[in-house]
C-alpha cells in the first residue's frame, strides 16, 4: 500500500498547491470574482492535463523533439527567474499594458496566467513532469499508468480546493501582507530557479560538478 501511494505523496509534495497561494494572489489581485474562478478552473484542469500527458507521452515527446530532461530544467529555470524578478518588485505578472480595455483582454489574461506561469512551471514544472515520467517508466502496464492518471485527477482537485480558498487567505493577510509575501516568495523563487538551472547545467556539462 505504501509503495502504491508513494507517487501520489511525492507529486503532492512537488506540486505543493498551498505553496502557490501567494503567487496566485499576486497574479490575480486585479481580477474580479468571475475571472478568478475561471483562472482556478483553467489552472486545475491544466494540472491534470500536464500530469496525464506526461504519464502517457512524456518520454516519447522528449525523445521526438530531441530534448533531454536536463535541457527542460534549464528552460524551466529561466521562466522561474523571469517570474521572480516581477515578484521582487511586487508587480502583477501582466502589469504592462493595463491601460487597455479590460474586457476580453483581461479575460484572456486570466486564462493565460493560469497556464503560464501558474501551472507551468510553478505547479507542474520540470521536477513534477520528470517525476511523472520516471513513475510512468516504472509503471507496470495499463493499470500502473491508469493509477498515475488517477493521481493526477486527485492533485487537480486539491489544487482547485486550495486556490478557491485563496481569497480568504488574502483578506487575512491584507495588501501589505501580500506585498511582503510576494517579495519574499519572489526571492525564494529566484533561489529555486537557480537550483533548477544548476541541476540541469550539471547534467548537460558534468565537468561543472568537478570544479572545486
Confidence of residue 135 (pLDDT cuts 50, 70, 90): confident
Give me 38's grid cell: 475561471
The verdict on residue 80 lying in a domain is yes
Q: Shortest CA distance to 122 belongs to which of 4, 19, 42?
A: 19
Is 47 within 8 Å of 152 (Cβ atoms)?
A: yes
The verdict on residue 209 lying in a domain is no
pLDDT digits (tens, 9 = 90+) for 38-48: 999 999 999 99
- The structural domain count of the chain equals 1
Report, as an integer, the average pLDDT of 126-147.
83
* Predicted confidence (pLDDT) at residue 92 exceeds the cutoff of 50: no
pLDDT at 46: 95
pLDDT digits (tens, 9 = 90+) for 144-197: 899 999 999 999 999 999 899 987 877 776 767 767 777 887 787 788 778 878
The verdict on residue 211 lying in a domain is no
The verdict on residue 35 lying in a domain is yes
The verdict on residue 162 lying in a domain is yes
Is 123 within 8 Å of 17 (Cβ atoms)?
A: yes
Give me 166's grid cell: 485563496
The verdict on residue 60 lying in a domain is yes
The verdict on residue 61 lying in a domain is yes
- Of 210 and 102, the structure prediction assigns the larger pLDDT to 210
Distance CA 130, CA 111 (A): 25
Domain span holding position 44: 2-204
Whole-number average pLDDT of the chain: 79
pLDDT digits (tens, 9 = 90+) for 65-79: 888 878 877 887 787
Confidence of residue 1 (pLDDT cuts 50, 70, 90): low
Report, as an integer, the average pLDDT of 114-132.
83
The verdict on residue 210 lying in a domain is no
Distance CA 125, CA 72 (A): 9
- Of 19 and 150, the structure prediction assigns the larger pLDDT to 150
In 3-state terms, what secondary structure has residue 4?
Answer: helix
Amino acid at each position: 500500500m505504501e509503495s502504491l501511494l508513494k507517487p501520489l505523496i511525492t507529486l503532492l509534495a512537488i506540486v505543493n498547491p498551498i505553496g502557490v497561494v501567494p503567487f496566485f494572489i499576486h497574479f490575480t489581485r486585479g481580477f474580479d470574482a468571475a475571472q478568478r474562478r475561471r483562472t482556478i478552473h483553467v489552472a486545475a484542469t491544466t494540472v491534470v492535463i500536464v500530469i496525464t500527458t506526461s504519464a502517457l507521452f512524456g518520454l516519447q515527446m522528449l525523445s521526438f523533439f530531441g530534448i533531454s530532461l536536463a535541457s527542460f530544467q534549464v528552460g524551466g529555470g529561466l521562466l522561474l527567474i523571469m517570474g521572480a524578478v516581477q515578484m521582487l518588485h511586487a508587480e502583477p505578472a501582466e502589469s504592462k499594458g493595463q491601460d487597455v480595455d479590460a474586457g476580453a483582454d483581461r479575460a484572456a489574461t486570466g486564462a493565460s496566467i493560469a497556464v503560464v506561469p501558474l501551472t507551468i512551471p510553478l505547479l507542474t514544472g520540470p521536477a513534477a513532469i520528470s517525476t511523472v515520467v520516471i513513475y510512468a517508466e516504472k509503471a507496470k502496464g495499463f493499470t500502473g499508468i491508469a493509477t498515475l492518471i488517477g493521481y493526477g485527477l486527485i492533485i487537480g482537485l486539491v489544487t482547485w480546493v486550495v486556490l478557491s480558498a485563496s481569497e480568504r487567505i488574502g483578506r487575512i493577510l491584507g495588501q501589505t501582507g501580500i506585498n511582503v509575501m510576494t517579495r519574499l516568495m519572489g526571492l525564494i523563487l529566484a533561489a529555486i530557479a537557480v537550483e533548477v538551472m544548476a541541476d540541469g547545467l550539471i547534467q548537460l556539462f558534468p565537468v561543472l560538478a568537478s570544479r572545486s
